[in-house]
Amino acid sequence: MLRAYSQYGPIFRVRALHLEYTIIAGLEANKFLAREGDRYLTVKKVYSGVATGLQSNNFILNHDGKKHRELRGILRRGYSKTAVIPSVPLIIRLTQEMARDWKKGERVFVVPALKRLITKQLGQVLLQYDPEGYFEDLQKFFTTTAETTVSNQLPEFVLKLPSFRHTQTRVFGLIDKVMAARAATPPDPARRTLIDDVLAAVDDQGQPYPPDLLRAAIIGTYIAGIDTVALTCSFAVYALLKHPNVWERVVAEVRPIFQRTSNPTMEDLKEMKVLHAALLENFRYYPVGPGAPRTAAEDFEFGGYRIAKGSNVLVGTGVTHFQPQFFPDPFTFDIDRYLEPRHEQRQPNIFVPFTVGEHTCLGAGMAEIQVMATIAALVNELDLTLDPPNYEVRYKTAPSRGPKHDLAVRVQ
C-alpha cells in the first residue's frame, strides 16, 4: 500500500483473484474515515460471516450508526482501561505460570503459545471463566467465520458444513458453562466485569436483550484477542529479541521493579516508560490491522474519483506509520520516538494502530495494558533468543496480519 500510495496517490484499485478493491490511503484517507466514514462506509458485509456463525444480530462489528453506538455503550465499560486495571496482577500471574513451564534449552513456538495465554487471560479477566479445553474450538470458530467474509478466503457455505457445525456446537456449549459458573457465584460489586454489564443491559424500552447478545458478547470476548492481541504480543517478542539493545534497556527497567514487588500492579507498570515506548513502536512498525476493510454504503467521491455503492474499500490506515514526514527514518525500529522530547505518537490521525472513526477498537486501552503486563512478565521471567538467531519474521496476512507460526524462541 505504501509503494502504491507513493506511485499513484491516495486512491488506487487492486485486484486479488476474483476480487477488486478500491484502496484509499495516507493521512487524507485516515481523516476521511474519522470524519465521514460512518456516513459513506459500512462494515455489515465485512463481518457478516462472524455474525452468521454466532447466530446473532447483536454482534457489534456487524453494525454501523445507531445500533453500533447502542452495543458499544453496553460493552464500553467492560473493555475499558478502568475495568482491566484491577486485573493486572492476574494477567501477570497467568503469564508467569506459562513462562515457568518453559524449560531451559526448550524451543518454543511463540504464536500458538501466546494465543492460548491471551485467550485464558481474556476469559478470566472479562468473563471470570477459564476456557481451558475449548481453545482449539474458539480458534477454528474465529478463523473459519472470519475467512468467509473478512478476508474472502472461504465461501460462506462452509458455515453450514458438519465440521463447522460441530465446532459451533462446542463453542455454544462453552457459553452454557460460562453462564452456569456465573449463576453459581454471587455478583461481586468490587469486581464488576463485562459479563455483568451484558446481563444487566436493557434496550431503550427498558427490556432485556435477547440471548444472542450474550452469545455474541461471550464468544466475542474470547475471540477478541485470539488474533489481534496475541499477534501483537508475538510481534513484540520478535522485535525485542531482534533488537538486543532494546531488550537490554527493557530488562534493565523491568526486572528491578519485579524484584521490588512480588505482585506488580498498574502503578508499577506506569514506571516502565522504556517498555511502553518499545510497545508503541511495536504498534507502529508491526500493526496487526494495517487496513480497515469496508463496503461503500453509497456513492461518494475521494481524491477526485467516484467510488460506487457496494464497492469493496480498504482504508490503508497504516500507511502513515511509514511516511518520513511523520516518523523520521520510518524503517528503523526506534523506541525513543515515544520518549521526551519527541512523542511522535501524538499526531492525530497518523499514529492509528487501533484505526480511527466510529469503529476505533473498543478495547484499545485494555489491549495496551494487557500487552504491557504480558510482555513485562515474560521479560522478567525469561532470557530468550530467537531460534534460529538470524530469523527474519515471515507474515501471515489473514484474518489479521501477524507472524507465521514458525516464529520460535530458545529458552536460555
Ordered alpha helix ranges (H), 63-134: 65-75, 81-84, 88-101, 110-126
pLDDT, residue 322, reads 97
Mean pLDDT check: name the lowest of 4-13, 73-82, 116-125, 394-403: 394-403
State mean pLDDT over 20-45. Answer: 96
pLDDT, residue 137, reads 95
pLDDT, residue 386, reads 98
Q: Which three cell numbers stand for residue 411?
A: 529458552
Examine the pLDDT at 144 and tell me if it is beyond 90.
yes
Query: Can you tell me whether residue 76 is helix, strand or coil?
Result: coil
- Asked whether the beta carbons of 227 and 288 are under 8 A apart, the reply is yes
pLDDT, residue 231, reads 95
CA distance to 8, 21, 90, 289, 311, per residue, from 17 (Å):
21, 11, 45, 21, 16
Query: Can you tell me whether residue 231 is helix, strand or coil?
Result: helix
pLDDT, residue 153, reads 84
pLDDT, residue 222, reads 83
pLDDT category at 221 given cuts 50, 70, 90 is: confident
CATH topology assigned to domain 2-411: Cytochrome p450 (1.10.630)
Residue found by looking up cell 467492560 in the block:
78
318-368 pLDDT per residue, tens = 999 999 999 999 999 999 999 999 999 999 999 999 999 999 999 999 999
225-242 pLDDT per residue, tens = 788 999 999 999 999 999
Above pLDDT 90, what percent of the chain? Answer: 83
- Asked whether the beta carbons of 411 and 384 are under 8 A apart, the reply is yes
pLDDT, residue 408, reads 98
276 vs 369: CA distance, rounded Å: 9
Pseudo-torsion of CA 119, 123, 126, 128, nearest 10°?
-160
Examine the pLDDT at 191 and tell me if it is beyond 90.
no
Backbone angles phi, psi at 377, to 5 degrees: -65, -40
Model's pTM, two decimal places? 0.95
113-133 pLDDT per residue, tens = 999 999 999 999 998 899 999
pLDDT, residue 21, reads 94
Q: Map out the domains of the chain as residue ranges.
A: 2-411
Q: Which of these, 295, 401, 226, lies nearest to 46 by C-alpha position?
A: 295
Strand 312-316 relative to strand 19-25, pairing = parallel
Cα–chain center distance at 1: 21
Examine the pLDDT at 186 and tell me if it is beyond 80.
no
Examine the pLDDT at 13 and tell me if it is beyond 90.
yes
Q: Which of these, 221, 199, 185, lies nearest to 59 by C-alpha position?
A: 221
37-46 pLDDT per residue, tens = 999 999 988 8
* Peptide bond before residue 399 is cis, with ω within 30 degrees of 0: yes
State mean pLDDT over 1-16. Answer: 95
How many other C-beta atoms lie within 10 A of the C-beta of residue 34?
Answer: 18
Examine the pLDDT at 154 and tell me if it is beyond 80.
yes
249-307 pLDDT per residue, tens = 999 999 999 999 988 999 999 999 999 999 999 999 999 999 999 999 999 999 999 99
